[in-house]
Each structure stands twice: as C-alpha cells, then as structure tokens.
C-alpha cells in the first residue's frame, strides 16, 4: 500500500514537471507575440500599411494646424533626390509626375511651373529643415488624416489600391495572426477598417491584416468582416512601347530640313528620333528645326505607328554654354519649360536628351536636370530617354554622367555603344568590338546598377577607314557608312571572333588601309546582347547609313 502511494506521488510530480515544461515551451514559442510594443512619446506616422514611426529621424511637428515632416524623413520615405537649392533658397522636391519648390519666407509653392498659395512655408529648427507636408499633399499624391486620439498621422497613397470593410461584432485586433497574441486594440461592431492584405480574403485565409480607425495595424479573423468594398484601384502605369524598343536616330543637323520619308516604311521600327531640337550656341536657349518638313515627318511617323522621340542636342552650344545652363536652377527650369511647350505644340511622344562633351564637375548638375525634367514629362505622358557613353573614357566624354541616377530616373538610358576608337584616340582599332560593348554594358548593369530593361543599346551603322603612313602615323580615320563600305577585289575579309567583326587590311601606295567592318553579321551579334541581358531594345546611329538587310536582322533578333 505504501509503495502504491509513493508511485502516485512520483507520477504527480512528473505530471507537474511536464506541465511546467509545456508552459515554458509555450511561453518560449509564443513570447514574441506578447512583446510590448515600444511606446512613442511623440506623434506616430503610418504610411499606407506600415507604422514607420521608429524609422523617423526627427519628430513630426504640428504648428497652427500645419503638419511638418523633416526634409530627412521626406528623403527617406518619398524623394531621395530632395535638396535645398542655394540659388533660390528653396527646397526642391520631385515625386512621380510632380516637381515642387517651396521657400522659407513666403507662403507659396511652385508646382510643375505654376505658383500655388499655401498656409505655411518651409521652416528650420536648428540645422533641420521641415516641410509643411499638409500643404504638399498634391506633390506626393497622398491623403492625410490627423488622428488626435491616438496621436497618429496617416498618409495614404492615392495611386495604391485601398479596400475598406466593417466589423460584424466587437473584436480584438491582434499583433500577429494567432489567438495567443498581444492585443493591439479593441474595436466595436460597425467600425471601419482598411484591409491591408485583401488577397487573404480571396484566398480564404483565416486571418487578415487591417488598419483601424485609430491607425493601429494588426490582425483580425476574416469572418469578422462584412461590407468589403474596394475604394480605389491601383494605378498601373501603361508603357508606351510594348516589347523591345527598335529605334533609329534621324540626323539632319540644325541647318537642314527634315527628310521627306513619304511612302517609306522601316521594318520592325517602333520609335524614330529626328534631330528637331538643339541648344543655341550663343545663349543656350532651346531652338527647333521643324518647320513644315518636320511636321510632315511627324505625320509620316505617326501614320506608320512610330512614336516620335526627337533628339535635343547640345553640340552646337558647346561645353561652356551647357555648363552655364546646368549650373543654374533658374536656367534649368527655363529650358525644361521650353521643352514642355515644344512637346505640347508638336504632339511629341518622347524626347531623347543627347548632351555630350560636358565637364566632369557638372555631372551632378546634369543629373539634377534629368531629375527635374522627368516629372514634367511624366505629367504629359512623354517618354524620357537619355544618351550616355561607355563608362571608361575621358572626363568630358565619359565621367560627366552619373549613370546610376540617370538610369534610376529616366524611362530609358541609351548606351551609345560606339566610338571605341574614334577621332580623339591615338590608337587604331574598331568602332565597336563586341567584347568592348559587352564589357561596358556589364559595368552599367553591375557597377552602375541600372535596370537592364531600361537600357537601350546604341548600334553603329558606320565604321572608320584608317589610313596609316609608312612611319606608323595615322593620316586619316574617316567615317564610312555601312552601305558605302568598299572592299577591293583582291582583299579577303578575316573574321575576328573576339570582336565579332570582319577585318580587312591592304596596301594603298605607301599607306596601309585598315577597317573593322560593320555589317549584318556584326550587328546581329550586338543585338543578341538584348536577349542575353534582357535589355530594353536598340537604337541605331543613324538612318540612311545602313544596308537594306539590316532592319530584318534587327527585327528578327529582337523578337527572340
């Protein structure tokens, strides 16, 4: 009997120990669900589906009913390119299709070129700049709600999908999608919630993430919701070009009228870039070379389904005039306004910025020009493409571009993959060997971190005929268009498998002639990089230099 009592006591003790272990295990597993949410002394900020308060660098301020967010936090959440312009003593901010400037004195703001009255200006607290975000809702395309009860500001993006619902009964909002989880808030029957993860409902999940009227974020059971309604759908940007861009530049200088292409069609092409605009050599103002011939050109292009992205060149203005414009916020805005007006006047679909030969010191200023131009183009539905050279090169030729920023901001970055050996070099060589093109392309993708689908690969429809004297000096390096390449009868082409080009060399009197040939085979090899790296397409320099088979080759290769 005594032994039996001992056994029962042992069993009880074992049961107690097991119970304690189970409770301990449960606590360890579920502990994170009950971690106390950090209390915030100031105002909470909720942006769409996230409470970002702990990420704020500075507290939110409310003065005379105006809500202020620091420039540092605007930079973090909305505009990484925001800055204070010394020339005008204004904060310049861009977001999607809006560019705004707001100063520290007058209660006004310039939005996409128009002056708007505001109830406040930007302010400073020590070294920290604050913007009156409640006066700038249109800039960032948000809806603001100030929930005084919970000391919470909510900002909802008006281009994002929003779903609302009512709760059927009194419910508790949980920190995680589990019953054994910290209670975030208790809400009453009939309360409205914003459904953050509406896919959970359609997928039949037990829990759904919501935001309460007090701005609290958590989970409730899906079966507690009723009257589920989509308040607004997500705005999806429609691409102007579906598939790959197949473009050519149509250069005819600022002194020659646009070519008459009536009756012509170009196989596979969907974009043309005529030389319509240039910066004046005296003051850098935007000049045009359109006239009746240019209008006829636009009509021809549109009638064939081609988009028109005219080129804007700084070649005539030169490096000093270009620098003068780039280094002045006021002059940049004047140029941008001129571009906007020209685009509207001539029913243009896009523009191609071809600024070359710029000071390395102006690299960031050129980026600012693109950053400030992009919102105005987006507002009009106009595509912005920007030409850049290969990453490795001279200060004024290559190091004047911030390819990372340009690739991030513009719709397309056009890599002019030619002039590997050109006018300024001391070495004889190809215009565009495939190994050089691919190496440069990989640097743009990997080092500059440009989205491959934004990169348009520039193709040369020309080569150079190098004339080398007997002493080894270069006598001439003249450009020869693809269609005008002449190979003497007794000269044999040699295929270079590294460059993916045919090469010829022969004597002409005391001189040696060398030429790396661009033809259908070499162009096909280059276009194959579009598929290999999933690029945005190609653009050819320039129309009327090509042989008749080229467009078929490009079209077929792009279709892969």
pLDDT per residue over 396-421, tens digit each?
A: 999 999 999 999 999 999 999 999 99
Torsion angle, alpha carbons of 48, 54, 55, 59, to 10:
100
Q: Are 430 and 420 in contact (CB under 8 A)?
A: yes
Examine the pLDDT at 2 and tell me if it is beyond 70.
Answer: no
- Model confidence band, residue 35 (pLDDT cutoffs 50, 70, 90): very low
255 and 396 assigned to the same domain: yes
255 and 340 assigned to the same domain: yes
Examine the pLDDT at 538 and tell me if it is beyond 60.
Answer: yes
Q: Are 134 and 67 in contact (CB under 8 A)?
A: yes
For residue 98, give the CATH number of its domain.
3.30.457.10
Positive/negative CA dihedral, 213, 218, 220, 225: positive
Classify residue 113: in a domain, yes or no. yes
pLDDT tens-digit readout, 314-358: 999 999 999 999 999 999 999 999 999 999 999 999 999 999 999
Classify residue 18: in a domain, yes or no. no
What is the average per-residue pLDDT within 447-476? 97
The pTM is what? 0.93
Classify residue 227: in a domain, yes or no. yes
pLDDT tens-digit readout, 211-236: 999 999 999 999 999 999 999 999 99
Residue that finishes a domain, picked among 200, 232, 264: 232
- Model confidence band, residue 42 (pLDDT cutoffs 50, 70, 90): confident
Q: What pLDDT score does 424 carry?
A: 80
Give the span between the Cα atoms of 538 and 488, in whole angstroms.
32
Give the span between the Cα atoms of 64 and 316, in whole angstroms.
53
Q: What pLDDT score does 345 carry?
A: 98
For residue 257, give the CATH number of its domain.
3.20.20.80
Examine the pLDDT at 34 and tell me if it is beyond 80.
Answer: no
Classify residue 556: in a domain, yes or no. no
406 and 277 assigned to the same domain: yes
71 and 137 assigned to the same domain: yes
Give the span between the Cα atoms of 152 and 34, in whole angstroms.
22
Sort strands 537-541 and 245-250 into parallel, antiparallel or unpaired.
parallel
What is the average per-residue pLDDT within 540-545? 98
Burial class (CB in 10 A: 0-12, 13-18, 19+), 18: exposed
170 and 312 assigned to the same domain: no
Give the span between the Cα atoms of 315 and 280, in whole angstroms.
9
Examine the pLDDT at 81 and tell me if it is beyond 60.
Answer: yes
At how many degrees (to 10) do helices 520-533 and 434-446 cross?
20
Residue that finishes a domain, picked among 147, 169, 199: 147
Residue that finishes a domain, picked among 413, 443, 477: 413
270 and 291 assigned to the same domain: yes
Q: Are 310 and 286 in contact (CB under 8 A)?
A: no
Q: What pLDDT score does 24 carry?
A: 47
Classify residue 25: in a domain, yes or no. no
278 and 400 assigned to the same domain: yes
Diameter over CA atoms, the chain = 126
337 and 381 assigned to the same domain: yes
Tally the domains of the chain: 4
401 and 452 assigned to the same domain: no
Give the span between the Cα atoms of 158 and 177, in whole angstroms.
27
- pLDDT greater at residue 208 or residue 36: 208
200 and 327 assigned to the same domain: no
Classify residue 293: in a domain, yes or no. yes
Q: What pLDDT score does 277 carry?
A: 98
Q: Which of 197-201, 357-361, 375-379 has the lowest mean pLDDT?
A: 197-201
Q: What pLDDT score does 423 carry?
A: 85
Q: Are 212 and 230 in contact (CB under 8 A)?
A: no
Give the span between the Cα atoms of 78 and 29, in whole angstroms.
37
308 and 409 assigned to the same domain: yes
Examine the pLDDT at 28 and tell me if it is beyond 60.
Answer: no
Give the containing element (helix H, strand E) for 278.
strand 277-279
Range of the domain at 378: 237-413
pLDDT tens-digit readout, 100-127: 999 999 999 999 999 999 999 999 999 9
Q: What pLDDT score does 27 carry?
A: 46
Examine the pLDDT at 29 and tell me if it is beyond 70.
Answer: no
Examine the pLDDT at 31 and tell me if it is beyond 90.
Answer: no
For the chain, what is the mean pLDDT? 94
280 and 394 assigned to the same domain: yes
Q: What pLDDT score does 517 carry?
A: 98
Percent with pLDDT over 70 in the chain: 93
């Amino acid at each position: 009997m005594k032994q039996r009592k001992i056994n029962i006591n042992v069993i009880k003790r074992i049961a107690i120990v097991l119970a304690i272990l189970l409770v301990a295990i449960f606590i360890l597993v579920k502990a994170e669900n009950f971690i106390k949410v950090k209390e915030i002394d100031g105002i909470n900020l909720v942006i769409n589906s996230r409470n970002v308060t702990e990420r704020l660098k500075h507290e939110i301020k409310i003065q005379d009913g105006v809500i202020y967010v620091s420039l540092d936090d605007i930079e973090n959440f909305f505009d990484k390119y925001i800055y204070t312009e010394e020339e005008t003593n204004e904060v310049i901010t861009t977001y999607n299709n809006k560019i705004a400037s707001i100063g520290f004195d007058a209660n006004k703001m310039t939005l996409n070129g128009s002056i708007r009255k505001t109830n406040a200006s930007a302010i400073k607290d020590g070294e920290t700049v604050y913007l009156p975000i409640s006066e700038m809702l249109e800039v960032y395309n948000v809806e603001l709600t100030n929930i005084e009860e919970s000391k919470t500001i909510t900002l909802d993006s008006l281009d994002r999908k929003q779903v609302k619902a009512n709760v059927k009964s009194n419910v508790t909002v949980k920190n995680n999608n589990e019953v054994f989880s910290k209670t975030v808030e208790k809400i009453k029957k009939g309360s409205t919630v914003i459904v953050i993860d509406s896919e959970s409902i359609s997928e039949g999940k037990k829990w759904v993430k919501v935001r309460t009227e007090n701005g609290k974020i958590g989970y409730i059971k899906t079966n507690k919701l009723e009257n589920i309604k989509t308040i607004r759908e997500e705005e999806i940007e429609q691409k102007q070009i579906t598939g790959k861009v197949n473009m050519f530049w149509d250069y005819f200088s600022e002194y020659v009228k646009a070519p008459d292409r009536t009756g012509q069609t170009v196989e596979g092409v969907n974009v043309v870039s005529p030389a319509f605009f240039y910066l004046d050599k005296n003051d850098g103002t935007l000049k045009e070379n359109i006239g009746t011939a240019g209008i006829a050109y636009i009509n021809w292009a549109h009638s064939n389904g081609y988009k028109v992205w005219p080129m804007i060149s700084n070649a005539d203005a030169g490096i000093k005039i270009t620098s003068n414009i780039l280094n002045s916020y006021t002059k940049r805005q004047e140029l941008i306004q001129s571009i906007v007006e020209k685009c509207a006047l001539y029913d243009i679909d896009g523009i191609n910025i071809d600024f070359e030969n710029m000071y390395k010191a102006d690299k960031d200023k050129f980026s600012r020009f693109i950053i400030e131009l992009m919102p105005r183009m987006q507002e009009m539905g106009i595509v912005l493409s920007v030409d850049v050279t290969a990453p490795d090169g001279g200060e004024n030729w290559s190091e004047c571009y911030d390819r990372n920023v340009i690739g991030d901001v513009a719709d397309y970055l056009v890599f002019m993959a030619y002039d590997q050996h050109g006018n300024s070099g001391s070495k004889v060589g190809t215009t565009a060997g495939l190994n050089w093109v691919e190496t440069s392309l990989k640097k743009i993708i990997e080092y500059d971190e440009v989205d491959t689908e934004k990169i348009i690969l520039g193709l040369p429809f020309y080569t150079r005929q190098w004339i080398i004297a007997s002493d080894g000096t270069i006598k001439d390096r003249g450009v020869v268009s693809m269609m005008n390449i002449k190979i003497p009868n007794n000269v044999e082409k040699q295929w270079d498998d590294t460059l993916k080009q045919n090469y010829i060399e022969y004597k002409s009197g005391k001189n040696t002639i060398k030429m790396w040939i661009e033809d259908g085979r070499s162009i096909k090899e280059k276009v194959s990089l579009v598929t290999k790296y999933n690029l945005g397409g190609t653009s050819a320099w320039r129309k009327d230099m090509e042989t008749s088979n080229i467009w078929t080759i490009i079209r077929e290769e792009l279709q892969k």
